Amino acid sequence: MMGLLFIREAKISISNFALTNLKTYPEVAKLDEHDAQLIINKILVDLDLMSQDVVKYKLYNTWELQISAQFNLIQGHELESLYKKSYPFLNIYQKQDSLKKDIIQKIINDFPQYTPNEIFETIKKIV
């Protein structure tokens, strides 16, 4: 989801994710499972969290993707700090929960099908 936010906000070019079929943010609606995994892998490499020890998770659209087990163990505020260290442009998000709210308002609202089931279930409980 962070990769999609970076593409939407033009902070990282789509070409940096090695996606061949997508040129613009609206085309993300045509994202396939392979390209979704490429986006995740780029983020994991940037965070220095790429590993062969992986955890599978499902998206609302039934896709099954992989993240590193290490990434999966990092708690929310610590993960946000790691993102801000790796992507300094995220430091515009200073208020508590502002980054999470932006992801919900921009990415989940644009493409709910790419929401991990766990996040989708949490949002449903809140709303």
- The residue among 95, 127, 111 whose CA lies nearest residue 26 is 111
Instruction: Quote the pLDDT of residue 121.
Output: 81
Instruction: Quote the pLDDT of residue 119.
Output: 84
10-residue averages of pLDDT along the chain (127 residues): 94 91 91 95 97 95 96 91 95 88 90 90 75
Tally Cβ neighbours within 10 Å of residue 107.
20
Instruction: Quote the pLDDT of residue 48.
Output: 96
For the entire predicted model, the pTM comes to: 0.91
Instruction: Quote the pLDDT of residue 114.
Output: 94
Question: Residues of 21-60 as b/e, b for ≥16 C-beta within 10 angstroms?
Answer: ebeeeeebeebeeebbebbbbbbbebbebbeeebeebebb
Instruction: Quote the pLDDT of residue 110.
Output: 93
